Every structure is written in structure tokens, then in C-alpha cells.
Amino acid sequence: MATLNRPGAPDGHICGIDTAMEVIGGKWKVLILWALHEHPYRRFGELRRLLPGITEKVLASHLREMEADGIVGRVSYDEVPPRVEYSLTEDGARLNASLEPLAAWGRERADRQG
């Protein structure tokens, strides 16, 4: 990622929000986070079914980025057919928790607008 390139701060970051936005900056990332929170330890195909509309390519690349960011864990079992399980890391769980107030704000706003 690192679409953010803002001068004015040492590494292009101004406040902590930037760091967080970089990590969740992807069309489906918060939903993947959410899905893994509600349904821990899901397989690739299960996640795909939990997120109607996502394509395999995007799911795979998002998962790999989130894994690299340390918010998603991946365990691959050497079976046939292959089995891979994704889960939230501790950091990912904390990220998800810190998204809750934002979700509450969004829900309230959605309610107000009917």
C-alpha cells in the first residue's frame, strides 16, 4: 500500500490515524476484519462466501497485505484438498475493537437518515 505520501512529518505520518488508515485502506479490509471477528478461523472459500461480491484476487491480495501488517494470521494445513485457515491476530482483534466507536457513529448516522 503506502498510498499515503505526505510531507511534513518524518515518515509521512502526522498523527496515529494515518497509520491506521494505511492498514485498513482497502475496499474490503474492514469487512474482512469484521467477518473474521464474527467467524473466527475461517477458510478462504468461507470468507469469500461471507463477503458477497468480493473476487478471489482481491480477497487473496487483501489477506496477504493484512498478514504482512500482522493483523491476520494464516495457517496452512498440508492436506488434499488444501486447507488454509485465517484468523485475527491479537493486534487485529485490538484494531477491530478500536473500530467499534466508528461503527457506532456510522450506525447512528444510518439510522438518522432512515
Partner DNA sequence: GTGGGTGGTTACCCTGTGGTGAGCGAACAG
Partner DNA sequence: CTGTTCGCTCACCACAGGGTAACCACCCAC
Contact residues toward DNA (CB under 7 A) are: 1-3, 26-28, 43-46, 53-58, 60-64, 74, 76, 80-84
Pairwise CA distance, residues 27 & 112, whole Å: 25
Compute how many residues bind a copy of itself; rule: CB under 8 A: 39
Written as one letter, the residue type at 81 is P
Any contact of residue 4 with a copy of itself (CB under 8 A)?
A: yes
**Among a copy of itself, DNA, none, what does residue 7 contact (CB within 5–8 Å per kind)?**
a copy of itself
Is the distance from CB of 32 to CB of 24 less than 8 angstroms? no
Cβ proximity to DNA: between 55 and 98 the closer is 55
Give the C-alpha separation, 43 to 51, whole Å: 12
